[in-house]
Amino acid sequence: MVLYLHGFASSAHSGKARYLGERLQQRGIPFLAPDLNLPDFSTLTVTRMLEQTHALLEKSPPFAEATGGRPASAEGTAGRHGVTLIGSSLGAFVAVNAAVKWPSLVGRLILMAPALDFGHEGLKGPGGADLAAWKRAGRLNVFHFGYGRTMPVHYELYADARRYDGLNADLAMPVLVFQGSRDTAVDPAVVEAWCRRRPNADLHMMDDGHQLSASLPYIWDVTSRFLDSPV
């Protein structure tokens, strides 16, 4: 089972989600891309996205078969049948923190342009927004690429993200990372340093931007081989 977590102001129907989903389904691999904007984009938080992800992990076929529907334990058969989480940008931040919280349910991680330092003190807000101004106003208007219009998002998104730490995540499962060297939304140096500290992380730095649109055939080729490899 592969679970795809889309990025900020994106959707389950993004180009990357559709591209990878079609190829995974052609191989007979169950694929699910939930809409993490629901029920309301303006009240989006990392905690809510994590709760949605956890609910889907527990319902995934491998986990259900391994546990017979019983609650998850830290160890046991579910760990040997873990779901592969694919996360894009903010979705990758969520994927990393989900793997930290529920390692017995996640067998592999695939991170694309991962916003590993999301919520980190000193960074700018979405689109380079000033955090102090966002906090004062309580909301920030951003263009939502999934919905095709400008929409507000509450400051609670950033405040809640401060509760989680992607930079120092302790992960034991195999991790595949794709990063564009010309990415202006995610700092390639941060991703490179993060992977360098983790022997289980395989970084592929490509001549591409944040969307990684030009690299999708390469990403699929590497991902396909990654999924075929033993955990």
pLDDT of residue 201: 98
Which of the residue ranges 30-39, 47-56, 77-86, 163-172 would you say has the lowest mean pLDDT? Answer: 77-86
List of residues 6+ apart from 14 with CB closer than 8 A:
6, 7, 88, 145, 146
Which residues are paired to 5 by β-bridges? 87
Asked whether 132 and 123 are in contact (CB, 8 A), the reply is no
Q: What integer is the mean pLDDT of 81-92?
A: 93
Does 120 or 139 have the greater pLDDT score?
139
The string of pLDDT tens digits covering residues 195-212 is 999 999 999 999 999 999
Q: Where do the domains of the chain lie, and which CATH numbers do they carry?
A: 2-117+171-228 (3.40.50.1820)
Q: How far is CA 73 from the centre of its chain?
A: 23
pLDDT higher than 70, residue 102: yes
Whether 86 shows a pLDDT value over 90: the answer reads yes
Mean pLDDT of the chain: 91
Identify the CA nearest to 49 among candidates 153, 171, 176.
Answer: 153
Q: In this structure, what token pair is assigned to residue 164?
A: 């989680």
Percentage of the chain exceeding pLDDT 90: 83
Q: What is the pLDDT of residue 81?
A: 56
d(CA 172, CA 62): 19
The Cβ-side half-sphere exposure at 139, using a 13 Å CA radius, reads 9
CB atoms within 10 A of CB 105: 26
Strands 2-5 and 106-112, how do they pair? unpaired
Average pLDDT over every residue of 84-96: 98
Residue 231: per-residue pLDDT: 72
pLDDT digits over 37-79, tens only? 999 999 999 999 999 999 999 998 654 444 444 444 333 333 3
